[in-house]
């Protein structure tokens, strides 16, 4: 995989991750062209598209976001972009799909959320020292 883009139906780029070195000018051109092509498609069309010499896959990452956020909306991405990138990193690493199962990806994310909650919960001085 060379890149991952997430944009709104209004053409606003919300997330992007590039896995190959690409000049900024080329990135902007590719994003602009791909947005036009993808947004011109009807909603019931298939999730695969050939563009230039690439195969474009639509919706797989959004399915994960839907499961995590419960019907994801653009505001979820805007206000929780760190979490959206974390979910992306659980799904893809270095441009390779790490796990095709949405359930196992979501389970890993939930476990990370639990660890973060434990780390952020207030503890007494005795608990910090391991005495409580």
Calpha distance 45→99 (Å, rounded) = 25
Looking at every residue in the chain, the average pLDDT score rounds to 84
Domains and CATH numbers, the chain: 3-128 (3.30.450.60)
14: tokens are: 């919300």
pLDDT of residue 27: 94
pLDDT bucket at 122, cuts 50 / 70 / 90: low
pLDDT value of residue 125: 67
* Three-class secondary structure of residue 13 per DSSP: strand
pTM listed for this prediction = 0.75
Residue 50 has pLDDT above 90, yes or no: no
């Amino acid at each position: 995989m060379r890149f991952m883009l997430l944009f709104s139906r209004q053409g606003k780029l919300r997330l992007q991750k590039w896995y190959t070195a690409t000049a900024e000018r080329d990135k902007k051109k590719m994003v602009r062209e791909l947005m036009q092509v993808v947004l011109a498609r009807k909603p019931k069309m298939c999730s695969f598209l050939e563009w230039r010499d690439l195969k474009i896959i639509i919706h797989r990452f959004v399915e994960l976001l839907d499961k995590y956020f419960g019907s994801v909306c653009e505001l979820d991405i805007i206000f929780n972009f760190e979490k959206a990138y974390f979910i992306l990193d659980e799904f893809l690493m270095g441009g390779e799909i790490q796990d095709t199962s949405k359930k196992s990806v979501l389970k890993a994310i939930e476990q990370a959320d639990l660890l973060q909650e434990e780390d952020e919960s207030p503890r007494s001085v005795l608990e910090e020292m391991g005495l409580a």
